């Protein structure tokens, strides 16, 4: 199984952005370092006006996305392969 989680290397340690689900307390990992580049909307040619429009249109989904019951879809591929 491969699972990617963002993190930051700081002070000789990796700080993960989230706790991985369905992973043993101690397991092997592969860490890939890459040079930071701005991956935001401006880097993709989207300025404030279209970004505000996009944010407004996606806001209608926020309640569904943040619903704890939606966490089942975080491991959708894993769950599907276990059927």
Record the pTM.
Answer: 0.38
Any idea where the domains of the chain sit in the sequence?
Answer: 7-81
Q: Please give the pLDDT value at position 21.
A: 82
Reported as a single tens digit per residue, the pLDDT across 33-76 is: 877 666 677 777 888 888 888 889 988 888 888 888 888 877 76
Quote the CA–CA distance of 83 and 80 in Å, as a whole number: 6
Quote the CA–CA distance of 49 and 54 in Å, as a whole number: 9
Q: Please give the pLDDT value at position 78.
A: 64
Residue partners of 61: CB distance under 8 A and separation at least 6: none
Closest Cα to residue 4, out of 24, 29, 25, 26? 29
For residue 34 the two structure tokens come to 């890459």
Q: Please give the pLDDT value at position 22.
A: 82
pLDDT band for position 20 (cuts 50, 70, 90): confident
């Amino acid at each position: 199984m491969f699972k990617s989680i963002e993190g930051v290397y700081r002070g000789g340690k990796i700080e993960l952005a989230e706790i991985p689900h369905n992973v043993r307390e101690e397991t092997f990992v592969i860490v890939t370092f890459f040079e930071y580049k701005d991956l935001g909307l401006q880097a993709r040619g989207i300025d404030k006006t279209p970004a505000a429009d996009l944010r407004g249109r996606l806001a209608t989904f926020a309640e569904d996305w943040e619903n704890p019951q939606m966490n089942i879809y975080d491991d959708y591929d894993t769950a599907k392969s276990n059927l």
